[in-house]
Amino acid sequence: PAGGGGPPAAPKPKSAVEQLKGSSMVIDEEVLSHVERAEALKLKGNTHFKAAEYEAAIGEYEQGCALAEEAIRELSGVDEKAVIELLHACHLNTASCRLKLRQWGEAVEAANTVLRDGPHRKALFRRGQAYQQLARLDEART
């Protein structure tokens, strides 16, 4: 039937940069620049990942993590939360690369970095995949 039939598509989540630019707080230009560069590095990492260039992707994600961590120190509230989500995405993407490279211990470490901030379904899944490969099945279930 005309007009679809399903529910409307959910709005695309804002990027961390969009969140900061729309913030009610004054965001320092250097902080904004760090977040812009971190997002760009994450995208470059994604391109490397899709090309199965996992080591190169890890390099991009790790640089993105460093920039996001610097920015987080200067933020609070919803602005901080937006950049933490970017940081978590970079760590989780690193964990995914480590799994592809069969670097199980490093995959666990990347997932644990996210889990230190609290429960996170995707981090638990990635860590569980690595623990399964390490034959640490009891830990893979938690």
The reported pLDDT for the residue numbered 137 is: 75
DSSP reduced 3-state for 93: helix
Mean pLDDT of 37-62: 98
Residue 11 DSSP symbol: P
Distance CA 14, CA 11 (A): 9
Distance CA 41, CA 109 (A): 21
**Mean predicted lDDT score pLDDT of the chain:** 91
Question: Above 90 in pLDDT, residue 81?
Answer: yes
Count the neighbouring beta carbons within 10 Å of the beta carbon of residue 67: 24
The reported pLDDT for the residue numbered 1 is: 45
* Residue matched to tokens 């470490």: 109
* φ, ψ at 15 (rounded to 5°): -75, 165
Question: Above 90 in pLDDT, residue 12?
Answer: no
Query: How would residue 136 be classed by pLDDT, with cut points 50, 70 and 90?
Result: confident
